[in-house]
Amino acid sequence: MSLLVIGSVAFDALETPFGKTDKIIGGAATYISLSASYSTKPVNLVAVVGGDFPQSDIQILENHGVNTEGLQIKPDEKSFFWSGKYNKDLNSRETITTELNVLGSFDPIIPDNYLDCKYLMLGNLAPQVQRLVIQRLVNRPKLIVLDTMNFWMDIAAEELLATIEMVDVLSINDEEARQLSGEYSLVKAARKILALGPKFLIIKKGEHGALLFHKNKTFFAPALPLEEVFDPTGAGDTFAGGFIGHIAATDDCSFENLKRAVIHGSAMASFCVEKFGTERLLNLTQEEIEAREAQFEELVRVQPASVTA
Ligand code: AMP
């Protein structure tokens, strides 16, 4: 089913307790598209990069079934650049630099053949640009998922609230849910955030899994306890890509299927953190993905008392 993804396509410089990288390919839409491409193809991408962005990196996306016709290249400008440093526990990080560059004046031009998309994934980006994409589509998609971060809550709160009101699913982390709602309890936070408009709320809790809220129902998916976590960058976006990819592939927006999508997204994110940047997402096999999903199910399976007695 047709999936449209927008978000940052970027250069990232990362520092974790295990090492540092120079500028490598990153960005929310990069992780989302790669992750979704394991469930559904093509993934139609709308984003912007500068003249400094290598053709070889665009080719990597194309090789994964990502349609880059909507990727604008601004030859005289620089790509979005983000750098971050992780603390020892790898669950928290500090943003060192955010250079918007081309993102500062991004006008999301949507190719005609993307306009009637059924599923829309609004990856991390200025909320006014995310909203413009919704407004430019010919029909409202069946499901709109929005991912954002504290950066936009700090500098564009009003714009963000106006965008949140228009979407079906909001995906944020626990710190962001607390900031957005002003509530420490995630249950209270969820209630307040759902009152802002979205029908579903996902709260990502890093190595502690993810929560899905809908009306008065709650679902929890653990994160896989991994022996080695190398670099959590992009885990949230990879989760979101897996989530929307699964829904687009199955064309089913029921709560039960969204629960399965959360498990699939969690499995995809668990791969992402095993290597630096996008590396681990480049060569996955369907067998590996299915085996990992089975590990997730095993992690929380309990036999009914009547069977174990
Ligand atoms: P995640 O680790 O899933 O939260 O996402 C990390 C990715 O988000 C990196 O690849 C960054 O390039 C991208 N990113 C960081 N800050 C922003 C921002 N303000 N707007 C858009 N993308 C961003």
Q: Which residues of the chain have pLDDT under 50?
A: none
CA distances from 30 to 73, 101, 156 (A): 15, 17, 23
CATH number of 3-9+28-39+108-300: 3.40.1190.20
pTM of this prediction? 0.96
Report pLDDT digits (tens) over 176-228: 999 999 999 999 999 999 999 999 999 999 889 999 999 999 999 999 888 88
Answer yes or no: is the C-beta of 98 below 6 A from any ligand 1 atom: yes
Residue 303: per-residue pLDDT = 86
237 lines ligand 1 (CB under 6 A): yes
For residues 119 and 98, give the distance between their C-alpha atoms in angstroms, rounded to a whole number.
Answer: 29
Does ligand 1 come within 6 angstroms of the Cβ of 13?
A: no
DSSP string, 66-119: EEEEEEEEETTSPPEEEEEEE-TTSS-EEEEEEE-GGGGG---PPPGGGTT-SE
pLDDT at res. 8: 97
Residue 309: the pLDDT is 56
Q: Is the peptide bond before 42 cis (omega within 30 degrees of 0)?
A: yes
Whether 235 is in the pocket of ligand 1, judged by its Cβ within 6 Å, is yes
pLDDT of residue 304: 84
d(CA 111, CA 120): 14
Q: Where are the domains of the chain?
A: 3-9+28-39+108-300
Q: What is the pLDDT of residue 166?
A: 98
Nearest atom in ligand 1 to the alpha carbon of residue 237 is 3
pLDDT of residue 207: 87
Give the distance from CA 194 to its chain's centroid: 19
Q: What's the 26 CA to ligand 1 centre distance in angstroms?
A: 8
